[in-house]
Structure 1
Amino acid sequence: MASTKTEVAHDFHPWFRVYKDGHVERFLGHPFVPPSEDSQTAAVRSKDVTVSTTASARLFLPKAAAPREKLPIVIYIHGGAFSMESAFSSLYHNYLNSLVDECRVIAASVEYRLAPEHPLPACYDDCYAVMKWVAQHDGGRPPGSETGPDPWLNDHADLGKVYLAGDSAGANLAHNMVVRANGDGLMKISGLVLIHPFFGNEQPTKLWEFICSDSGGVNDPRLNPGAHPGLLSKLGCEKVLILTASKDFIRERGRSYCEALKASGWRGAVETVETEGEEHVFHLFKPTSEKAKAMMRCLVSFINPTNAPSA
């Protein structure tokens, strides 16, 4: 008789497999790397902070930032089908280093609980906990009187220039964080960056149904916001950048999100940029390619145009 340690209960290859004894096997992912706060050579410093009992973040700061120099802040949410990867993995650590260096921003890369061990909405709640933590750092207070728990954010975060960004499932999370923050009046969001966003497709999504404890089906507003123009019209940010790739298996929902946003009555500015001949999140795996560099230039122009190279 087969052991429950080897009997498969649910198979969601290439993401993960759940065995009958409850343990989860993941097929993709990168090793964790430590932050580099004390590096003498890196252009970007980083450190880890605990936000709540379930959420944490890795902060990134340009090493050349002048004392108390205010910078735009990017709250970045990693992808991985809600079930893989980490803000602490080499893949995302390296990408955030590049993003912070190129854009000249301070960034908080969100570490959230993963499904299936922690079904949705756990990841949404963790991301929002980080947003609330960031919002405590009131950049408008006189020097020395800040109330936020982290000195980097007290000294350098311009809370008048807050950007949410994410790739794949992280883009889904980023969109939903902007919606939730607007509804709660948490903070002003300057812009939203959706990189190869995961908003499902026209067919029932088995993975979503399995990992989401309170799923509303294929048109759940968290999964398919384009089906809810009333919510899109209240998107609480000034501008949106949607990045797609021509060979991405989920690109159509990114495009339809853009069209739904335009038609919703939302008064912000939305831009879509598609990379020809590339697949889903190619920029993470080929960061030095010319197309990945072009994508980074788009991000710099959108988030911090004063740091964009002159034509």
Structure 2
Amino acid sequence: MVHNTAIRLRKEGIGGYGNKVSGVALLHSYFWGTEPVGGEFSDTAFYYPGDMERVWDVACGGEFGRDHPYINPAVSPQEWCHLGSGRVLVTMAELCWFVERARVYAEGIKACGWAGELEFYETRGKKHTYFLFRPDCDDAAKELAVVADFVRHC
């Protein structure tokens, strides 16, 4: 949502507020698509393809496919340089089924001509949104510190 909102903000602006925000943070983003990216789908120990498709179908009422820019920004990389933010933070967990997409997204943002600053933070040995279930663990505290530092510098 935050990626698409920042793109839309740059295009349309918000009356009285302009067309840019200081920073956007994508925490364990939910990007998906029909074609595998990187080593995606190779480790079925934590990949549940049917679940991914069902969640997206429910979330959008079946209106948008898995290659719509709402869930797969890689289908419209020409839009990325219009990101309405000067800074982007992408956090991800190493054992998350979305990790390959997050890496590709971060690389694409850097390569597209966008003039901002990007930070990528990956937590080793953890799964998707681990911090929601173990907010008191050391890794969650470290990731929160990264987010807090990012916000402080926006």
TM-score by length of 1: 0.40
Greater fraction strand = 1
Equivalent pair of 1:244/1:273 in contact (CA under 8 Å):
yes
Distance 1:289 1:232, change over 3 A: same
Equivalent pair of 1:226/1:232 in contact (CA under 8 Å):
no
Letter in 1 for 2:70: R
Matching residue within 177, 182, 190 for 2:5 = 177
Equivalent pair of 1:249/1:280 in contact (CA under 8 Å):
yes
Equivalent pair of 1:200/1:223 in contact (CA under 8 Å):
yes
Shift of 1:211: 4.1
In 1: Cα distance, 2:85 partner to 2:153 partner: 17
Partner of 1:274: helix, strand, or coil?
Answer: strand
Shift of 1:227: 2.3
Letter in 2 for 1:276: R
Equivalent pair of 1:201/1:250 in contact (CA under 8 Å):
no
Matched with 2:116 is 268
Equivalent pair of 2:33/2:71 in contact (CA under 8 Å):
no
Matched with 1:300 is 148
Q: Deviations over 1:143-197 (max 9, x none)?
A: xxxxxxxxxxxxxxxxxxxxxxxxxxxxxx1111111211111133110101110
Matching residue within 218, 231, 236 for 2:84 = 236
Matched with 1:225 is 73
In 1: Cα distance, 2:107 partner to 2:139 partner: 25
Q: Could you list the runs of 5+ residues in structure 2 that have no partner in the other structure?
A: 36-48
CA RMSD, aligned part only?
A: 2.0
In 2: Cα distance, 1:250 partner to 1:211 partner: 17
Q: Could you list the runs of 5+ residues in structure 1 that have no partner in the other structure?
A: 1-172, 307-311
Matched with 2:107 is 259
Aligned length, in residue pairs: 133
Greater fraction helix = 2
Matched with 1:190 is 22
In 2: Cα distance, 1:238 partner to 1:272 partner: 15
Equivalent pair of 1:191/1:303 in contact (CA under 8 Å):
yes
Shift of 1:226: 2.1
Aligned residues with identical type, % of pairs: 32
Equivalent pair of 2:33/2:67 in contact (CA under 8 Å):
no
Larger Rg: 1
In 2: Cα distance, 1:220 partner to 1:201 partner: 8
Shift of 1:291: 0.7
Q: Deviations over 1:97-151 (max 9, x none)?
A: xxxxxxxxxxxxxxxxxxxxxxxxxxxxxxxxxxxxxxxxxxxxxxxxxxxxxxx
TM-score by length of 2: 0.78
Distance 1:202 1:180, change over 3 A: same
Equivalent pair of 1:240/1:269 in contact (CA under 8 Å):
yes
> Relative contact order (alpha carbons < 8 A, sep ≥ 6): 1 or 2 greater?
2
